[in-house]
Amino acid sequence: MRRLLSLVLLFAFAAGAAGGLVYLQHHPAVPAPSASAAAPSSGTSGTTAPPSTADDNGSSDDNGSDDAPAQPPWPSEAGTPEQVLYAQAHLMQSAIDQLLPRTPGHPNLYLIAFAGDGDQNVFRNEAEFVERQFTQRFDSAGHVITLINNPGTLTSTPIASLSNLQAAVDAVAARMDQEQDILFLFMTTHGSREHELLVSLDPLPLDQIGPEDISGLFADSHIKHRVIVISACYSGGFIDALRNDATLLVTAARADRASFGCGTDSDITDFGRAFFVDGMNHNDTFDAAYKEAAGLIDGWETRNDEEHSYPQFISTPKIAAQLKAWRAGIRLGPPLPFKSVAPRPDSVEQLTASR
């Protein structure tokens, strides 16, 4: 397994390097990162704290912004971008080695959390909260792999790339009971009208993710029961490619609508706050959590005079029955208050002092 993972990631690095040459032919040169240099910005999607009255991304759907906020600096201890890519084999293997054996006697739930955009801490905050919530409240300790694009996690957490996501799915599939256990895939980042999820950690050349990329993750596995939650603008555009008779799908928005609340002033997206912080803390089933979240989001967007995002919830009798069996087999932990871990990138000095 170690040798196979290393070969996969080294191949991904070679492909990424080739992609980087193509990228540079069409984009301005990116300065070499340093401890005081900030990565370039991109952005639109996600969601924010409910009191907001305006959104950074509601009118932008091309993952770009004319007013780029100050970005977290690339930490010197992470090494060069090439060294970061080289370190992925070790970081992924370390994350995989921490997976514990399944608990016999009832369906287990495995979580893969993916924070795609490294330009804003809001996505890191969201993924890390979901990791803690499922570990402490929903009995998934030892059954979690988290992938994050953020300068603050380069030395501790595998990056959120399509290659690492495939490795995570394969590792979980190898350890779970693929007929009985449930894979919960949570992805949070910006999304475009073309239904593409932003994967960004400048200056690394990372592939963007479309609906077929996510469905392709399961091509070589037989994971039967899945829950896929996507927090991004236009994320409803992923439903058709991922729908089957044993998958629960939750998206932050309809295929033709933006979601709200990301940005440097946000600690967690509106959808993340409504579904996980409120819904999943107040309820013990995903459908009840969604109903509460949808009502909260509708109220926030009405109050702020925003075009409604219309979150989506697609379930089936098979996944509903398996989730009921999983819930009956675990001991529910207490609600987990949200706490922002990543600092807001107000200044390089603040970020440097926080390390």
Which tens digit of pLDDT belongs to each residue from 194-250?
A: 999 999 999 999 999 999 999 999 999 999 999 999 999 999 999 999 999 999 999
DSSP state of 280: I
Bridge-based pairing state of the strands 225-231 and 109-115: unpaired
- Is 16 or 100 the better-scoring residue by pLDDT? 100
User: pLDDT band for position 71 (50/70/90)?
Assistant: low
Q: Is 265 helix (H, G, I), strand (E, B) or coil?
A: coil
Residue-level pLDDT at 342? 66
Residue type, 88: Q
Burial class (CB in 10 A: 0-12, 13-18, 19+), 97: exposed
pLDDT(3) > 70: no
Per-residue pLDDT for 1 more than 60? no
DSSP 102-133: PPTTS--EEEEEEE-BTT-HHHHHHHHHHHHH
In angstroms, the CA 322 to CA 214 distance is 22
User: What percentage of the chain reaches a pLDDT higher than 90?
Assistant: 71
- In the chain, the amino acid numbered 146 is T
pLDDT at 65: 37
Of 39-53, 148-162, 233-247, the poorest mean pLDDT is in 39-53
Query: Is residue 299 over pLDDT 60?
Result: yes
Q: Return the pLDDT at 239.
A: 98
Q: How is the beta sheet containing 247-251 ordered, strand by strand?
A: 144-148, 109-115, 182-188, 225-231, 247-251, 312-314
Closest CA to 204 of 274, 149, 138: 149
On average, the pLDDT of the chain sits at: 82
Q: Residues 20-40: pLDDT tens digits?
A: 433 333 333 333 333 333 333
Rounded (5°) CA angle 193-9-163: 20
Across 90-115, average pLDDT: 97
**Strand duo 182-188 + 144-148: pairing:** unpaired
Q: State which of 12-26, 68-82, 134-148, 260-274 shows the largest mean pLDDT.
A: 134-148
The Cα 124–Cα 205 span in angstroms is: 19
Which is it for strands 312-314 and 247-251: parallel, antiparallel or unpaired? antiparallel
pLDDT at 56 over 80: no
So what's the pLDDT on residue 305? 96
User: What's the pLDDT band for 352 if we cut at 50, 70, 90?
Assistant: very low
Residue ranges covered by each domain of the chain: 70-354
Instruction: Locate all alpha helices (DSSP H) within 66-216, ordered by sequence.
Output: 81-86, 88-97, 121-136, 162-175, 211-216
Please, which pLDDT band fits residue 343 given cuts at 50, 70 and 90? low
Identify the pLDDT of residue 340.
76
**Residue 338 reports pLDDT greater than 70:** yes
Q: What is the mean pLDDT of residues 294-307?
A: 97
Is it the case that residue 346 has pLDDT exceeding 70?
no
Taking the alpha carbons of 100, 129, 200, 350 in that order, is the dihedral positive or negative? Answer: negative
User: From residue 215, how far is each of 192, 266, 279, 290 by CA, in Å?
Assistant: 18, 30, 27, 23
CATH number of 70-354: 3.40.50.1460
121, 132 Cβ separation under 8 angstroms: no
**Encoded amino acid at 68, one letter:** A
Tell me the two tokens of residue 42.
Answer: 């991109």
Residues 87-109 have a mean pLDDT of: 97
Taking the C-alpha atoms of residue 168 and residue 309, their distance in angstroms, rounded to an integer, is 30
Mean pLDDT throughout 136-157?
Answer: 97
59-63, 155-159, 173-177: least confidently modelled range: 59-63
Residue 76's pLDDT is 83
Integer Cα distance of 91 and 105 in angstroms: 31
Nearest partner of 113 among 152, 142, 144, 138, judged by Cα: 144
pLDDT bucket at 78, cuts 50 / 70 / 90: confident
